[in-house]
Structure 1
Amino acid sequence: MTKLLLSLHVIVAIVAVGPVTVAASVFPRTAREAFAAPADPAPRAALRTLHRITRVYALLALLVPTFGFATAAAMGVLGDVWLNVSIVLTALAGGILLGLVLPLQERTLRELDGGDQPPDSARLAMTAGLFNILWATVTVLMIVRPGSTTGA
């Protein structure tokens, strides 16, 4: 059962978190393009698609910690420090995604529709980058598992 849970955890992490990290990373550059060429519909359409990918896959990404907790319980590592650090970092990444990345994307789309000033693309890029760094750190912790006695 542990191998099945771990497999599901990894598959969902790849399938759900991967698209979110890419879409969130590409969004700021596409926003700059959309504001630079307001008559061109292509960057606008791409921006809406990137936001939709970020939003939908963020919901799917909720399955990652769900399968992660089940896997950790099956492995008997719920009290391990590396796992607890990973849980905190995952919560921070989720908070950044829900509290900063998605709202900034939504604000950018509203400003684009309203013809307002271009968004702060540096802030968009920074929040997406921070989200990505947190997920990369969690991934390393999941592989290295410092102090683990499970033989990795």
Structure 2
Amino acid sequence: MTAVLLSIHVLAAIVFIGPVTVATSMFPRSARAALAGDGPPGAVEVLHRISRVYAVLGVAVPVFGLATGAAMGVLGDAWLIASLVLTLLAAGILGLRVLPEQAVVIRALRGEAEVAPRTVRGLSMSSGLFALAWAVVVVLMIVRPGSTTGV
């Protein structure tokens, strides 16, 4: 059963977290171009939609991760706790910074709001921190400090 849970966890991470990470990373550049009139606003809307949808689907990753950790008996291990904290941090960055600021840019492209240049710069930073948090989680999942796998 552990192998099945781990497989679902890894597949969910690849299929759900990968696209949201790429979409949030591409959004600021596309937004700058669209706001300057040099790029299609539709591309920015698609990237925002991908970010939103895959953010929701990405909830499966920690759910199956916790189930896998419970099956492996490692829920109290420091590497897993650190991974959970980083996952919560990434979710917070995405839900509280990236998605709302993307929505402001979308409204600005539709002529419904104004957007400050610092908003797009902030999106670049927030997107980078989101990606960095996930990169560290991946390393923790592979290396698993203190494990007996010999890695």
Q: Distance in 2 between matches of 1:104 and 1:57?
A: 17
Q: Which 5+ residue runs of structure 1 have no aligned equivalent?
A: none
Letter in structure 2 aligned against 1:7: S
Residues 111 and 118 of structure 1 are in contact (CA less than 8 Å); yes or no, is this contact kept in structure 2?
no
Offset at 1:117?
A: 4.6
TM-score (normalised: structure 2): 0.93
| CA distances 1:80-131 after superposition (whole Å, capped 9, x unpaired) | 0000000000000000000000000001111222273554321110000000
The answer to whether 1:27 aligns with 2:27 is yes
How do 1:36-115 residues align onto structure 2 when only pairs under 5 Å count? Answer: 36-37=36-37, 43-114=40-111
Letter in structure 2 aligned against 1:116: E
Q: Distance in 1 between matches of 2:148 and 2:91?
A: 28
SS at match of 1:131: helix
Give the 4+ runs in structure 1 shifted more than 3 A: 115-119, 149-152
Residues 35 and 118 of structure 1 are in contact (CA less than 8 Å); yes or no, is this contact kept in structure 2?
no
TM-score (normalised: structure 1): 0.93
Q: Distance in 2 between matches of 1:34 and 1:6?
A: 40
SS at match of 1:108: helix
SS at match of 1:103: helix
Letter in structure 2 aligned against 1:3: A
Letter in structure 2 aligned against 1:43: P
